[in-house]
Amino acid sequence: MDVSESFGEMLPWLKKYQEAVIVIKVGGHAMVDPAARSSMIKDIVTLKYLGARPVIVHGGGPEIDAMMKRMGKTPKFVSGLRVTDEETLEIVRMVLVGNVSADICSLISKHGGNGVGMVGSDGDLIVARRKAPEKAVIDGKETEVDFGWVGETVRINPKILNILMENEYIPVISPIGYDAEGNCLNLNADTAAGDIAAAINARSLVSLTDVDGVMMDPSKKETLLSQLNIAQCYDLIEKGVISKGMIPKILSSISVVKSGIQSVHIINGNIPHALLQELLTDKGIGTCITKE
């Protein structure tokens, strides 16, 4: 494809995303490779210069796990959530705010943008409550699990995000909420990104992860499903095509499009320029989930 053909394909998409808010959830596994991380952030800044309004919500699982092990702690997960005692919470805050967010903001600046790191207490952004204990099957036994300082979103206050976007900043949000007593709570980044996308009336939510999308056969890239609606997602879950760790991502995506967001995109952030290929080309590069 020559330059004119490429631009001709991109033009309708560029028009569609003018002034559109795009929430980009950057998963920790998509940030492990420094070169891929830098390329990813460069693409986000490019979207900003093309007229979109990106908002970043980031994870940091691999970095948190590594820091916990360095401090002699073993990461524990139940139902995909990190069980968070007080010491783990301090590690989560230190890594997400001090390392991951700072690194993303630095890369945004390097590529010509202006990033602002945020947590839930900034501008009363994310009000949360502590997740109640629930029963789960562990080692074949049903056990009541206390998740510790894990939170669930109560409400999102988008005012500060709107102010930042109107002034040409790219918000970079660490998924840390605060309850009515001022306690810090560890939030699931996928869920937080969806809640934020709904609150600021985003056009799209993009999840940058370490998988290519939904595939009929995970071992064969050619079986990638580029477009799915809600009914098809449920059908693939029932048939076992969508399984294991992909299930919570898809269920979260379904919830997001039900809230009014036009589309959710699951793409491999380790592929160079995956974000631009997904949003600005007809075919895309990952899986796009819509309501109908």
Longest dimension (CA), the chain: 61
Start-end of H helices in 29-85:
34-49, 61-70
How far is residue 37's CA from residue 30's CA, in Å, rounded to a whole number?
Answer: 7
Contacts (Cβ under 8 Å, ≥6 apart) of 23: 54, 55, 56, 57, 193, 196, 197, 200, 202, 204, 205, 206
Q: Is 213 annotated as a binding residue?
A: no
How far is residue 59's CA from residue 62's CA, in Å, rounded to a whole number?
Answer: 9
Structure tokens at 97: 């705010």
How far is residue 26's CA from residue 126's CA, in Å, rounded to a whole number?
Answer: 18
Q: Is 61 annotated as a binding residue?
A: yes
Instruction: Give the strand pairing for 21-26 and 204-209.
Output: parallel
Q: Is 82 annotated as a binding residue?
A: yes
Binding-site residues for substrate sit at 60-61, 82, 186
Known binding site: residues?
A: 60-61, 82, 186
